[in-house]
Amino acid sequence: MCWLWGITRRGIPPTRLHQSLWVDTIGRIDEVSVERRGNVVIEAVMGDITRQTVDAVVNAANQYLIAGGGVDGAIHEAAGEHELSAACAEIGGCEVGDAKATPGFALIPDHIIHTVGPIWSGGQNGEAEQLASCYRRCLEVADELDAASIAFPAISTGAFGFPPDLAATIAVSTLRNTPTDVRLARLVAFDGETLALYQRCLDAAE
């Protein structure tokens, strides 16, 4: 199941639509819930982050921008590890909460936006704001690249240990409230539990 949420900076009343459709990269979608508040849509799906048909895909990277595990390793492998590693080396690293772009190489998206999420250490060291900064900076970089669509993994919820429920709340809230020219922001869940968290956040009024 897929949930979509539209956001606006103009206060247009939302409308909700339900329909069925097919999407090649994520399989059959039985029901779509759409809430539009302008031109931007947030979409939550379960699928493979390396197979998303968007203009830019977000990589959950480390500060050194070297190939790691999880999403980072999968994106390096799918894009072409030699080419992507060379491009990352030219950038020279990335700070926590920041984002930097490289070409997409062998991926469908033209661009990879690398962002470094915080390592969870109890929540008293600014982790929530750092994670929100990741989403904001990715949208800013997407705007610089003229990317109309972007796909995000569940940043920091793997080896970095960020609580998935809080991470989902921060992701949805930040995407709702960040001005951007992006028209589609897709949250790609790697399992049903993460997708359910996104659904709960998207269904909740803010």
Region of 42 (left: φ > 0; alpha: ψ -120 to 50; beta: rest) is beta
Determine the Cα–Cα distance for residues 203 and 35; give it in Å rounded to an integer. Answer: 9
CB neighbour class for 114 (10 Å; exposed up to 12, middle 13-18, buried from 19): buried
CB neighbour class for 185 (10 Å; exposed up to 12, middle 13-18, buried from 19): buried
Q: Is the dihedral of CA 187, 43, 150, 23 positive or negative?
A: positive
Q: Which residues are catalytic?
A: 72
166 alpha carbon, distance to own chain's centre: 15
DSSP string, 115-174: EEPPPPSSS-SSHHHHHHHHHHHHHHHHHHTT-SEEEE--TTSSTT---HHHHHHHHHHH
